[in-house]
Amino acid sequence: MINSRENQHTLDTLFSALRQELPAQKYIDLEDKIVQIWQQAPCESSSETIHQVKRAMQSKQHTEALTLLYYLLERLPQFAEAWHLKALAHYERGELRLSLDHNKEALKHEPRHFRALSQQARIFMLIGDYRAALKCFERLAVIYPKRKSLSDRILQLRAQLTQH
């Protein structure tokens, strides 16, 4: 969650760097830094809840993760990363519509959330909505044009859509 002007400025700088020509490892480092900022909660108890959610998800205890996220989002409804984690838990349970809805909420609070956009694109591909997937990939290309394989996916989808 962006909890200070300093974090917002840092995020803006990191996102600007994602659009530059850099060595591949640098993009991974930038992604990691962005995610670390996204996962910062405004208070210690919320930070601990995020750690509990991540442990539950790593253990495939998605119901527990969703319960924790439900209570966290009641207190912090603008916490974009919590919405994305909720979407991820639903995705892991095969609840694709709920995953799409929660990623949409994450993107409402952080429009540059490249993980939420990527997950949405994957879901749209799975359900056969290739136009929606293409829109997600195109939005992602504006935010993070050098993301691995992104330009290839966009070209493939455009070609596929023009054939139909």
Q: Where are the domains of the chain?
A: 1-40, 44-163
- Confidence at 24, pLDDT banded by 50, 70, 90: confident
Measured CA distances, 119 to 8, 24, 88, 162 (Å): 23, 21, 8, 24
- Tell me the mean pLDDT in the region 43-52: 88
Q: Provide the residue count of the chain.
A: 164
Q: Looking at the domain 44-163, which fold is it?
A: 1.25.40
Average pLDDT, rounded, for the chain: 93
pLDDT at 79: 94
- Confidence at 56, pLDDT banded by 50, 70, 90: very high
Condensed to tens digits (0 to 9), the pLDDT of residues 91-131 reads: 999 999 999 999 999 999 999 999 999 999 999 999 999 99
pLDDT at 41: 81
pLDDT at 2: 44
Can you read off the two tokens belonging to residue 62? 């998605």
pLDDT at 1: 43
What HEC string does the chain produce? CCCCHHHHHHHHHHHHHHCCCCCHHHHHHHHHHHHHHHCCCCCHHHHHHHHHHHHHHHCCCHHHHHHHHHHHHHHCCCCHHHHHHHHHHHHHCCCHHHHHHHHHHHHHHCCCCHHHHHHHHHHHHHHCCHHHHHHHHHHHHHHCCCCCCHHHHHHHHHHHHHHC
Measured CA distances, 156 to 68, 104, 142 (Å): 39, 24, 18
Does 19 score more than 80 pLDDT? yes
* C-alpha–C-alpha distance, residues 37 and 8, integer Å: 9
Can you read off the two tokens belonging to residue 151? 């330009």
| CB distance 119 to 107 below 8 Å | no
